[in-house]
Structure 1
Amino acid sequence: MSHAVGTRRDSRTLALVVLCAGMLMIILDGTIVNVALPVIQADLEFSQSGLAWVVNAYLIPFGGLLLLAGRVGDLIGRRRMFLSGLVVFTLASLLCGLAGSQEMLIAARFVQGVGGAMAAAVILGMIVTMYPEKGEQSRAIGVFSFVAAAGGSIGLLAGGVLTQSISWHWIFFVNVPIGVAAVLLASRFVPAERGIGLRAGADVLGAVLGTAGLMLAVYTIVKAADFGWGSARTLVVGAVAVGLLVGFVVRQARVANPLLPLRIFASRTVTGANVVQVLMIAGMFSMFFLGALYLEKVLGYDPLRIGLAFLPVAVGIGALSLGASARVNARFGERPVLVGSLLAMLAGLVLLMRAPVTGGYLVDLFPSMVLMGVGAGLAFPALMTLAMSGATDEDSGLASGLVNTTQQVGGALGLAVLATLSTSRTNDLLAAGVSPTEALTSGYRLAFGVSAALVAVAVVLAAVVLRRPAEQEVAVAPEPVRAQA
């Protein structure tokens, strides 16, 4: 009997490793590209506005398809969706590495985003299903959170190393052997499940409305930095996106088999956790992306030194989320831990608001990096647990897709808003005769201040709205079947 239990645990551990390896590959791709952008721009002769599409072409399908991919994973089987996504992502990575033109790279990045959404949307749902016992589930979510959170900073370091030592093409080629190994290992070790069947949720019109609305919303956000938030183009496209999403919600309330059952939002803990995540991720993006620009443009760091500068964040996340977070959550509860960790992140961002023009790393940046690493290392596992706490087995893929969607929308929204504010502040100061370095630094400080405000709101919501899983309301029964609209 003990041998059978041990074998089952070993099998689940291998499955968890494979799932996290797939997630790491996808998360790395989100940041590894940013370090290589200047080299890609020079090699393929991108304009400044055209270069943004190397990032946006991935972000738009990734953010737009996560909910749909999560729900389809529930219907056809989550392992099947995960494997299909890995195959698409790996092939697209190969095409990205082989790209010799702007058009080929952008098209391949779009396909990469599709594959990334297919795979990432169901990973957390599979982990929750594999580990139903609370203690084991907390530890497994801690491992997943480490990969999801630390992958961003590891990507900055890996991007610098590969770009400087070989070429930018290898930031994509490196995904190919990892993807092939992940597909082979997942086919063997990740448990398969039948899914609840397409008839249980094949709402085609809802899928079109929801996916089109989300993709158009993400497009509006990422392009608002170019055209301005008050421009006619932004307002019109944004209004169309809102209209599609409103139509999607109305559709989900009326159909018999909704793509997104609205009952999932009946839990204020699940809804609140996703709102908190949007605010937290938006704040973190300023530290990763605008912080990297500050290091490069103001302090003169090269890509490798930028990656090393963020190493304390990855170390802090790894040291806490891989083991300590589960014990801390069990001792104090997810909500108190989340509030405390968000306060640590807030302190880190407040310190960044005083970033000087001639700053030293150890005095001016290292304390912020440590606080952000500690905060993120404790926040992500607690937040993931709360966000998944109200999901049933049938809806776990959907809830996983919702968590990933709020991450991407929070990141896109945060990056667009903060970059726009930072650029506007810098341009105003340049017009007033301030030196370029001082103008840039002032713009970054403003972005860090807004990020701190967003995280402060997240602290309040986490303290007031969220509940411990044991305190949650009784699960809402599925709505009665209604006539198909």
Structure 2
Amino acid sequence: MTDRFQSEPAATAEPGPEPQAPDPQRWKALALLCVTGFMVILDSQIVILALPSIERELQVTAGEGQWVLSAYMLTFGSLLLFGGRLADLRGRRPMFIVGTVLFLVSSLLCGLAWSAGALIGARVVQGISAAIMAPSALAILTNMFPDGAERNKALAYWSGASGLGATAALLIGGPITASLGWEWIFYLNVPVAVGLLVFAPVLLPKGRERDQVGSYDPAGALTITLGLLLLTGAIVWAPSEGWTSGPVVGMLLGSVVLIGLFIVVESRSAAPLMPLRMFRSRLFVGGNLAMVFFAMTALGMSITLSAYAQRVLGYTPMQFGLGLLVMTLMTLVGAYAGQAGVTKFGFRPVAAVGIVLMGIGAFLLSQVPADGTYFGHLFPGLLLFGLGLGGGPVAAISAALSSVDAKNVGVASGAGNAAFQIGGALGAAVVSGVVVSQGGDSTVPTVMTEGFQAGFTADLVIALIGLGVALVLLRPLTRHTRDTTSAASRSEDLSVTENRRRIAR
């Protein structure tokens, strides 16, 4: 495995055009893109606190109501790679606008839903829209800001906005549902989507309309989409069905087969959906693996903390959301500090410090008693956890995207988003399983607390594994590996070109 997969021009190549000056509107555009990241993550979680009202008004069971949450997660997580590739091929701004239109329409349909089936169908479309918007927005951000301090700062704002979206969902979901009705958690998206559609053509760069290769690699798109769908579905259902249940095992095996087929298809494709040479880059692989563990740690902690605070301490959803404000604020502080750290010290130190802070936060939370208090037992852990959650992912995503050619930044952004979504679902499933196995589903406060302590401890173990990934794979670049990768990239480019010529004949 090497450091980069970017190809370098041959020595005899014609001089390329002069690098373009940075877009003067890039900071205004960044605000627009950060709103997108905020809303996409907000909509993945805001439904949680509204589910009881939805189930009651639409007269559905808890199992059917869970599909309102799962439908979004499944389509969002499984289509991110394809959505990112569409942005590369059809143009990032046009696909961003298409995704935003779908987001607006699906949000309206969710609010107007007259039955559980209609709501679930609209949530499927909403997940599709998110799978187009998120990688398109991140690809635009990456191309607008030159590599280095400016891009690191922009990625920090993106990461902070996404983290804020997750916390805001828990803060505002309950009050909106209680005061206006569950429909308004979806109607809330409409004016935001209209604003995005108004300002996107003005602030976002038009760029090239599409990539040089006009192929969508349908076989690759089908296999990876279905593979990720089965993988995400297995992870989502594992806590309720059990990891060894027939449906979960079947989905896991199916995902392995389909992802294996995807690798075979991509290795033979003249215009692959995701060039396999991307996985030769240590930074690309390491950044995305680190993102998986950041997401596992974050979602595992959140789901355990929510259950402990509400079931043991008796917090209302509003009180719980307010209690998370310290973590939200520290996430923003950590993101800003993280981008400065990446510029000065590199990816590995910042990612390592981030995951260590999250691990220490999880350790402090693992000491909570049945009669715990906010400032005595929750506040210190949340403060440190938030700092790590803000800085660490900035380093991970910066590392992954630093090794990517401009023409592949859309699919690379989709891979990063998919890593976070799958990691989050996996962390929630694994930690939930630990909590239940240790008594977290009891009704006795002391027994429940033991289960939640075990969940926080499992989160610490996940953080330690993530630390190992960061230390091993996010090492600084070396001249030797850059030279080796460049030669391999040029060789593969020639091979791909020859394949296209054969197909043309």
TM-score bucket (shorter structure): over 0.9
Name 2:38's counterpart in structure 1: 24
8 Å CA contact 1:225, 1:420 repeated in 2: yes
8 Å CA contact 1:29, 1:155 repeated in 2: yes
Question: Residue 37 of structure 1 aligns to which amino acid in structure 2?
Answer: L
Between stretches 397-406 and 349-358, larger displacement belongs to 349-358
For residues 15 and 469 of structure 1, do their structure 2 counterparts lie closer, same or farther at Cα, with a shift above 3 Å needed? farther
Name 2:328's counterpart in structure 1: 314
Percent of pairs with identical residues: 35
Normalising to structure 1: TM-score of the pair?
0.93
Between stretches 446-455 and 110-119, larger displacement belongs to 446-455
Name 1:249's counterpart in structure 2: 263
Normalising to structure 2: TM-score of the pair?
0.89
8 Å CA contact 1:153, 1:288 repeated in 2: no
Report how far residue 483 of structure 1 moved: 4.0
Name 1:4's counterpart in structure 2: none
Match of 2:242 among 199, 209, 228: 228
Report how far residue 163 of structure 1 moved: 2.0
For residues 473 and 38 of structure 1, do their structure 2 counterparts lie closer, same or farther at Cα, with a shift above 3 Å needed? farther
Secondary structure at the counterpart of residue 60 of structure 1: helix
8 Å CA contact 2:148, 2:343 repeated in 1: no
Query: Where do 1:164-313 residues align within 5 Å?
Result: 164-197=178-211, 199-313=213-327
Match of 1:382 among 392, 395, 418: 395
1:229-280 Cα distance to aligned partner (Å, 9 max, x none): 1112221222112111100111101111110100111111110111111112
Name 2:471's counterpart in structure 1: 463
Matched residue pairs, number? 473
Task: State the distance in 2 between where 1:187 and 1:462 align.
Answer: 38
For residues 451 and 206 of structure 1, do their structure 2 counterparts lie closer, same or farther at Cα, with a shift above 3 Å needed? same
1:271-314 Cα distance to aligned partner (Å, 9 max, x none): 01111111121111022222112211111111111110111111
Query: Where do 1:63-82 residues align within 5 Å?
Result: 63-82=77-96
Task: State the distance in 2 between where 1:165 and 1:468 align.
Answer: 52
Task: State the distance in 1 between where 2:103 and 2:390 align.
Answer: 27
Task: State the distance in 2 between where 1:198 and 1:329 align.
Answer: 33
Report how far residue 450 of structure 1 moved: 1.2
Name 2:340's counterpart in structure 1: 327
Report how far residue 325 of structure 1 moved: 2.7
Question: Residue 345 of structure 1 aligns to which amino acid in structure 2?
Answer: M
Report how far residue 374 of structure 1 moved: 0.8
8 Å CA contact 2:347, 2:474 repeated in 1: no
Task: State the distance in 1 between where 2:394 and 2:477 align.
Answer: 14
1:98 aligns with 2:107: no
Task: State the distance in 1 between where 2:147 and 2:128 align.
Answer: 32
8 Å CA contact 2:352, 2:467 repeated in 1: yes
Secondary structure at the counterpart of residue 273 of structure 2: coil
Match of 1:134 among 148, 151, 156: 148
Secondary structure at the counterpart of residue 292 of structure 2: helix
Task: State the distance in 1 between where 2:109 and 2:304 align.
Answer: 29
Question: Residue 309 of structure 1 aligns to which amino acid in structure 2?
Answer: G
Name 1:12's counterpart in structure 2: 26
Task: State the distance in 1 between where 2:385 and 2:132 align.
Answer: 29
Task: State the distance in 1 between where 2:476 and 2:52 align.
Answer: 46
Report how far residue 180 of structure 1 moved: 0.8
1:146 aligns with 2:160: yes
1:343-386 Cα distance to aligned partner (Å, 9 max, x none): 11000001111222111010110011101111112112111111
Name 1:84's counterpart in structure 2: 98
Name 1:346's counterpart in structure 2: 359
Secondary structure at the counterpart of residue 407 of structure 2: coil
Task: State the distance in 1 between where 2:448 and 2:115 align.
Answer: 32
1:436 aligns with 2:444: yes
Match of 2:482 among 459, 473, 476: 473
Name 1:417's counterpart in structure 2: 430
Report how far residue 123 of structure 1 moved: 1.7
Task: State the distance in 2 between where 1:461 and 1:339 align.
Answer: 9
Question: Residue 367 of structure 1 aligns to which amino acid in structure 2?
Answer: P
Name 2:457's counterpart in structure 1: 449
Where in structure 1 are there 5+ consecutive unaligned residues?
Answer: 1-6
Report how far residue 421 of structure 1 moved: 2.7
8 Å CA contact 1:389, 1:469 repeated in 2: no
Report how far residue 200 of structure 1 moved: 4.2
For residues 387 and 197 of structure 1, do their structure 2 counterparts lie closer, same or farther at Cα, with a shift above 3 Å needed? closer
Task: State the distance in 2 between where 1:66 and 1:408 align.
Answer: 10
Task: State the distance in 2 between where 1:89 and 1:349 align.
Answer: 35
Structural RMSD (CA)? 2.0
Between stretches 199-208 and 182-191, larger displacement belongs to 199-208
Task: State the distance in 2 between where 1:49 and 1:131 align.
Answer: 45
Report how far residue 326 of structure 1 moved: 2.5
Report how far residue 142 of structure 1 moved: 1.1
Task: State the distance in 1 between where 2:109 and 2:369 align.
Answer: 42
Task: State the distance in 1 between where 2:275 and 2:214 align.
Answer: 11
Task: State the distance in 2 between where 1:8 and 1:236 align.
Answer: 50
Match of 1:401 among 401, 414, 423: 414
Secondary structure at the counterpart of residue 438 of structure 2: helix
Secondary structure at the counterpart of residue 243 of structure 2: coil
For residues 217 and 438 of structure 1, do their structure 2 counterparts lie closer, same or farther at Cα, with a shift above 3 Å needed? same
For residues 197 and 326 of structure 1, do their structure 2 counterparts lie closer, same or farther at Cα, with a shift above 3 Å needed? closer
Task: State the distance in 2 between where 1:319 and 1:119 align.
Answer: 26
Report how far residue 43 of structure 1 moved: 2.5
For residues 470 and 307 of structure 1, do their structure 2 counterparts lie closer, same or farther at Cα, with a shift above 3 Å needed? farther
Question: Residue 311 of structure 2 aligns to which amino acid in structure 1?
Answer: K
8 Å CA contact 2:22, 2:146 repeated in 1: no
For residues 132 and 42 of structure 1, do their structure 2 counterparts lie closer, same or farther at Cα, with a shift above 3 Å needed? same
1:383-407 Cα distance to aligned partner (Å, 9 max, x none): 1111111001001111101100100
